[in-house]
């Protein structure tokens, strides 16, 4: 389900965080679904368990998963209010980035093409 690129400059735990966020956002992992245990994922991917634990802690900090002591980690139910706050933050960031891009000479068509490319990569 999850693969990491050992040659990438991106730390392994960050790759795991991004992969799991993508699976959750796309709905492949659903609310209250149990994630693989740290040991299981560690053996499966050949990664140090501490790296897996670090990724899970970061996902929990970002409120994508929650943990139950002795039971494991699960996909969190997203609250609509928090989701709206996060959307507004992202929209503000995108506005700043787009303004900077246009100021730097990137055309609207180039931005649109980039958006289409990202959507295609995400399968949307």
Reduced to 3 states (helix: H, G, I; strand: E, B; else coil), residue 65 is strand
Query: What is the band of 25 on the pLDDT scale with cuts at 50, 70, 90?
Result: confident
Mean pLDDT of the chain: 90
Distance of CA 70 to the CA centre of its chain: 25
Q: How far apart are CA 40 and CA 64, in angstroms?
A: 20
Same domain, 100 and 113: yes
Q: Is residue 31 part of a domain?
A: yes
Number of domains in the chain: 2
Residues 70 and 109 in one domain: no
86, 118: one domain:
yes
The half-sphere exposure of 88 on its side-chain side, counting CA atoms within 13 A, is 6
Q: What is the pLDDT of residues 36-95, one digit of tens each?
A: 999 999 999 999 999 999 999 999 998 899 999 999 999 998 765 466 777 888 899 999
Max distance between CA atoms of the chain, in angstroms, equals 54
- Residue 112 sits in the same domain as residue 65: no
Cα 91–Cα 30–Cα 39 angle in degrees, nearest 5: 110
- 103 is a domain residue: yes
* Cβ neighbours, 10 Å, residue 11: 13
List the domain range (segments joined by +) for residue 116: 80-122
Q: Tell me whether residue 1 is in a domain.
A: no
If asked whether residues 41 and 70 sit together in one domain, one would say yes
Shared domain for 84 and 60, answered yes or no, is: no
């Amino acid at each position: 389900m999850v693969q990491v690129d050992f040659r990438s400059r991106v730390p392994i735990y960050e790759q795991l965080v991004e992969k799991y966020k993508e699976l959750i956002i796309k709905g492949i992992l659903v609310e209250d679904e149990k994630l693989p245990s740290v040991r299981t994922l560690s053996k499966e991917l050949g990664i140090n368990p501490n790296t897996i634990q670090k990724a899970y802690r970061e996902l929990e900090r970002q409120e994508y998963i929650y943990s139950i002591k002795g039971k494991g980690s699960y996909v969190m139910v997203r609250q609509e209010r928090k989701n709206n706050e996060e959307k507004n933050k992202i929209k503000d960031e995108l506005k700043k980035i787009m303004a900077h891009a246009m100021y730097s000479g990137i055309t609207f068509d180039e931005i649109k093409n980039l958006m289409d490319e990202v959507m295609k990569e995400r399968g949307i």
